[in-house]
Amino acid sequence: MKKIVSLVLCAVIVLCTSAPAFADDGCKCGFSPIIYVGPLGCTPIVRDAGTKNEQQLWKIDTKFLLSKLGKVLPGITKGLLLRNSDMLGSALVEFVNACFGDLALDGEGKSKANVTTPELNVPTGSRHGPDSDYYFDYDFRLDPYEHADRLYEFIEQVKALTGHNSVKLKCSSMGGVVLSAYLDKYGYDGIDVIICRCCPLLGTAVAGEAFCGKIEINSTSLTRYGEDAIPFLETGFADDFIEGTLYALLDVLKGAGIVDALCALGDRLIKEVGDKVFSDALIPVFGTLPGIWAFVPEEYFDEAVKFMKLPGQGGLHDKVFAYRTAMANIENNLKSARQNGVKVCIICGYNVQRTPLVTLWKSTSDGTVDTKYASLGATCGNVKEPLDAGYLNALKNRDYLSPDNMIDASTCALPECTWFVRDWLHCNGNAGIDELFNLVMTSDEVNVDSFEKFPQFSEADDDADTIYPVTGAPDEFARFRTAPTFLNFIRFLFSAVKRFLDPLFK
């Protein structure tokens, strides 16, 4: 009898200890759950949440922004009219601080107590499968290692809820920063797929340059930035017509010299008030955010530390420096994950004009993240241009060269599992790319030769919501023939005019 009682007791104890996770019984569906690690701004940052003064600071709501702008507009106008740069600078500083000042962290890298993220997700429910994911969000300002700790707990919870002993991580944009910190601290145990979608794994030049004060408004980059963004507009009404008209308008303004005049004005303003705006507003706010520091590429880092006046010690300093290890190790961490059976897919855009505010505007990108940083080291031609002839002639291994000669992926950390999509705007949704992700998640073998429909180099077609293989240099006429829309007609028309006019001006 005693024996039976103790056996029953043992059984009860075993059942109780494993009760939180029936996981140990395992889910038999064969598809481990997806955790989507979101981009910057994936959750609202709120001041005085739950009180009558509640104000969303990020993403900033337009009404709040306009109300603050209304307050400083007289100062800005007066400053501009009287050409008084002190007055103008003070108004701009007041504006930036009123809108973003409370986002600043303290010397320990901690948020103000009344500035919080009240809507952070906690995993619930056990639904999982190819069409369902758990959304991991975070306060983008904070130390990426804090997110890594939370992600660890999150993964454990998801495993317990679903009965799987591994998960798939699908990281979008800044999600790659969280991933880098995670892999560095926790490794890849319990992860079977890693997808990096437009992730600034080695940073982004726009952050590096801005944190070194290298701001420049350039009319060519501004126009191209507009041109490249226009096809992705969702106006909700007569999309194609509006896009085509805007495209034409932008090019006419550029042709008439109006864009150049505006840029010259902008540049003059930056020279006059830039220092003040940096020292009194941008540095005290954005210079205190380890999350933004994580975007600064290694080659800019030392100069940025000086320019942004990062404190020489304390929590903030330590957090900013700690992430350098994650960035330095991401290549090897992903390599060893892959060598040990984790399926890895890095995918990035190219040939989109980058943010038109920095001196390095020719760096090819998805508009936000440079292709060389997102791909862990591809060698790239300038935006809209092939690699130079000398490089191409000397190239021995052409297996990873794009058919348009713009990208050589052989210099990437993981060339065999890095995909490139021409004209793909940063993180824009695309059903074709989602199809690739599904294949990555369900196939045994994942490399750039695995899927006939998705070779290493594709081109985004936003209208058709898909991607198709790159076969040669960008050709506006071919684009128009494939998709005869008004926008594509205008693009073809202006490209023909430019081809005709450019030699005349040169």
Kindly list the residues in this chain that would bind Zn ion in the complex (CB under 5 A). Answer: 27, 29
Are the beta carbons of 425 and 349 closer than 8 angstroms? yes
Whose Cβ is closer to Zn ion: residue 32's or residue 458's? 32
Whose Cβ is closer to Zn ion: residue 26's or residue 107's? 26
45-47 vs 466-469, strand pairing mode = unpaired
Q: What are phi and psi of 169, to 5 degrees?
A: -105, 120
Query: Shortest gap between Cβ of 452 and Zn ion (angstroms)?
Result: 29
Q: What are phi and psi of 172, to 5 degrees?
A: -115, 125
Query: Shortest gap between Cβ of 126 and Zn ion (angstroms)?
Result: 8
Query: Shortest gap between Cβ of 162 and Zn ion (angstroms)?
Result: 6
Query: Shortest gap between Cβ of 125 and Zn ion (angstroms)?
Result: 13
For 163-282, where are the alpha helices, taking DSSP H only?
175-186, 205-210, 219-229, 239-255, 258-277
DSSP character at residue 365: B
Whose Cβ is closer to Zn ion: residue 27's or residue 460's? 27
Query: Shortest gap between Cβ of 29 and Zn ion (angstroms)?
Result: 3
Whose Cβ is closer to Zn ion: residue 59's or residue 127's? 127
Nearest-CA neighbor of 491 among 217, 240, 236? 240
- Token representation of residue 292: 């933004």
Query: Shortest gap between Cβ of 32 and Zn ion (angstroms)?
Result: 7
- Per DSSP, the three-state class of 469 is strand
Whose Cβ is closer to Zn ion: residue 27's or residue 490's? 27
Query: Shortest gap between Cβ of 164 and Zn ion (angstroms)?
Result: 6
The neighbour count for residue 51, using CB atoms within 10 Å, is 9
| Torsional class of 267: left (φ above 0), alpha (ψ -120 to 50), beta (otherwise) | alpha
Query: Shortest gap between Cβ of 31 and Zn ion (angstroms)?
Result: 6
Q: What angle do CA 49, 51, 53 make, to 5 degrees?
A: 90
Long-range Cβ contact pairs of 436-443 (< 8 A, separation 24 or more): 436/345, 436/347, 436/467, 437/170, 437/195, 437/345, 438/130, 440/193, 440/195, 440/343, 440/345, 441/31, 441/34, 441/130, 441/168, 441/193, 441/195, 441/343, 442/31, 442/130, 443/343
Whose Cβ is closer to Zn ion: residue 147's or residue 164's? 164
Q: What amino acid occupies position 109?
A: G
Cα distances from 408 to residues 331, 366, 378, 412, 470, in angstroms, run 18, 16, 6, 8, 14
Query: Shortest gap between Cβ of 26 and Zn ion (angstroms)?
Result: 8
Residue found under tokens 């798939």: 168
Whose Cβ is closer to Zn ion: residue 29's or residue 265's? 29
Whose Cβ is closer to Zn ion: residue 27's or residue 282's? 27
Q: What amino acid occupies position 451?
A: F
Whose Cβ is closer to Zn ion: residue 29's or residue 261's? 29
